[in-house]
Structures are given as C-alpha cells and as structure tokens.
Structure 1
C-alpha cells in the first residue's frame, strides 16, 4: 500500500520540558501514528533531513517529533561523546514516553539520522517495548574508511519492523555491507536506497523524504 497523496495540513510547535526539547509537527486531521526522530552527530532538531522527513510524514497524517538529544541540549555545537551515549538513549526513551499518547491509537515509530538513528536502534534493542517500529536514515554502519569497525553488536536484539534509508555513495556503508548487516535483524526489514547520494541524503535535491514517508506508511504504519 503506497502512501496516499500528501494533502493534510500541519502545525508545528515547540515542546520543552526538563527532559525533552522537540519541534512537533501535528496534522490537522486525526493522527495515524507518531514518529520520534533524533538528529545526527553534528546536527540538531532543525536538521534539513529531519525537517524534510517530518513534513512528508505529517502530510500523510502522522505526528512527528524532532528532538534535540541531551548532549545537544548541553552545548549548541560539537559532536557527542561516547561517555554520554547512554544519556542520549535515555533522552530518546523520554521522548517516546512523552509523545506516545499522540499516536491516536496507531503505532509509535522511533529513529533518526546517523548517530541519532544508531542510538534509537540501541534503545529498542535494550527495550523491545519502547516502540512499534524503527526508522533509520543513513545508519553509520562503520566509520568512513574503516569497514572492520562494524556497529552491529546490538542488531540481533532489534525485534521490531525496521526501515533503513541509505544513500548509494554513503562512505559509512556500502549497499552490500548494509544488506549483510540488516540480515542480523530478526524482524521484518526494508532498505530504501537513494541513488547517487551520500550520508546527508540530499533531501533538497532528491525525493528522499517522499520515499521515506512512503516506506513508513507502507511498511511500519500498516495494520492487518
């Protein structure tokens, strides 16, 4: 089932409390589900890829919360530290708890771009009840040029349906490497490859957001 034509109006507001800072896009119709997205290592909740995906999903009737991870709330610039990764996962867990009730009876999907997606995947590996589906854009399978340093240890514990959006020239994973890694996930998976783009997925020049939304609606938000 492909996504229906995008025709739902959306309103975006800022949510901020002690544990969660997010831009929340809500459809003006009854929601079909909710998606919580975390940004990459160098970004924040305003990243172009997150905004583009949020717009495309909200137009299909989905509430989307783009969150700032805890390390970004502590400082406006700079990469995350491995020593605080657990705190970033805790921030994702808190966001899921905050927005789950907005799903309108539909599923809650969690994920994010690059580092944010990796932390979301680790969070659902630690707690399979955290979300109903996982959305990863540009999963950082290994550091560029270091294919021996695979970030796959937790993937066998990911037990919810997963969509991975991948650029065909992404230096963090070749298409073949990603396909092999996805085989480790004991749940239904779908890879959406965007041709001739790298890690940023070029949502301003490619139909990345539209293809991502279509996969989410078709694979993660469907109900029997």
Structure 2
C-alpha cells in the first residue's frame, strides 16, 4: 500500500465552482476515477472517502466532487464539467477515467457515459462506469424503472448493490442488466440496504468489501486496455 496526498481544488462550473478533492497516488497514475455522492451529503460521505483512499493507495488517481442539487440533468451537467476538467488537466495526464457515483450520483454518472458514447467526440477517455447503490426505482414504486441510460451504455459497468436495497430490487436490476449491451457485472452485498448498512457488520467491514470489489474490477478493465 503506497502513500497518497489529498489536493483540494475548485472546478469552474457556470458562474460558480464545484468543490473537489484529488486523492493522488505516490506513483504517477495512468488511470483515474471520478466519484460523486448521492442526493444527500457531499464528497466527504464516508464510503466515498474510504474508496478514494483505497484507490489512491493502489495507484489509481481519484477525484471526488460535491454537487448539491436534486435535478438529475443539473447533476449530470456538473459531472460532465468535471470530466472535461480532468481531461484537460496539465497536472495529471491520464490514459482514461472511470466514472463512479453513489445512488443519485451513479445516475448522473450513467447519464454522462450515455451522452459521451452517443456523441461524435467519443474518444475513449471514459473507460467505464461504477454504480454504487444505483437507485433503479423509488421505494415501493417498482413499475417505473430508471433504466433508460443503462440500456444505451456501451462501456463496461460494475454495479455494487445491497440485496435488501429498497430502491433497487434484486430481480429488477438483474432483469435490466440482462438487457444491457455493455459488458457488466453485479456484486451483491448480502442483506445490505440502500445505505449499505448490514445488521451484524460494521460499516468499515462493508466498505472494505465494496472497495475490494471496485478495485479488482477496475484493475481487470485497465489491464484489458493495456493489451
């Protein structure tokens, strides 16, 4: 496990700024992950801080950012701005990035990946998508699925969801994933709810399982790029 440095930045977004933090590995990184939070909270949500530290300690740059606002189009616009910012950064010349988010943040990430894959400027900078607690439907409203972006994505996608998530019924996500054209994988956290809480397990223990799954999936997909 290497050391890492945290660097705070402010990313211009319209007439304001998005607060963000780089978790920078000791060695020069080749790949990065852009990470954002759900509807509540901010980039300092414990799961995000833990994942960012884990990735940086394994040599992956992580940029996490805060974007308040409950409008999904607004959140996606902010996410796209952060992708452009990192792509044009002089400090970090990356081969590619993976977009990641928790809950509503994963919906925003999925929206950006879909927009980029359908655009003419698809230059392979965005390599994949990580959805933590993807909110496939509102609680008790399983008839309306938020699957339109997922079905149009082409790059690899990892879902990490709780098997007891009240916003992502297991069979429904499996049904959507079976229709996706992209390479995809689901890792179920047994008995976890939408907040990834599991009775009888500590939060740190659950976070370690999530981090290990995300990193091993990223590593597999980065290795594919190197071949």
TM-score bin, normalised by smaller chain: 0.7 to 0.9
Secondary structure class of the residue paired with 1:29: coil
Q: Which runs of 5+ in 2 are unaligned?
A: 198-202
Q: TM-score if structure 1 supplies the norm length?
A: 0.85
- Assess if the C-alpha contact under 8 Å between 2:11 and 2:82 holds in 1: no
In 2, Cα distance between equivalents of 1:103 and 1:16: 16
For residue 43 of structure 1, what is the aligned residue in structure 2? Answer: 41
Matches within 5 A, 1:181-220: 181-202=176-197, 203-206=203-206, 207-219=209-221
Structure number with higher strand proportion: 2
SS in 2 for 1:64: strand
Q: Which residue of 1 aligns with 2:58?
A: 60
Of the three residues 128, 131, 135, the one matched with 2:130 is: 135
Q: Which one has more relative contact order, counting CA pairs under 8 Å at least 6 apart? A: 1
1:26-55 CA-to-partner distances (Å, cap 9, x unmatched) read 001021301001100012110111111111
Distance 1:214 1:11 in 2: 22
- The aligned length equals 207
Q: Is the 8 A contact 2:32 2:94 kept in 1?
A: no
Give, in whole Å, the separation in 1 of the partners of 2:179 and 2:113: 15
- Equivalent-residue separation in structure 2 for 1:122 and 1:175 (angstroms): 22
Look up the match of 1:76. Answer: none
Task: Tell me the secondary structure at the aligned position of residue 49 of structure 1.
Answer: helix
Contact 1:23 1:66 in 2 (8 A): yes
Preserved contact between residue 11 and residue 20 of structure 2 (Cα < 8 Å): no
Shift in CA distance, 103/197, structure 1 to aligned 2, threshold 3 Å? farther
Residue 159, structure 1, aligned to residue 159, structure 2: no
CA RMSD of aligned residues (A): 1.8
In structure 1, stretches of 5+ residues that fail to align are: 1-6, 73-79
Measured in 2, the distance between the counterparts of 1:27 and 1:65 equals 11
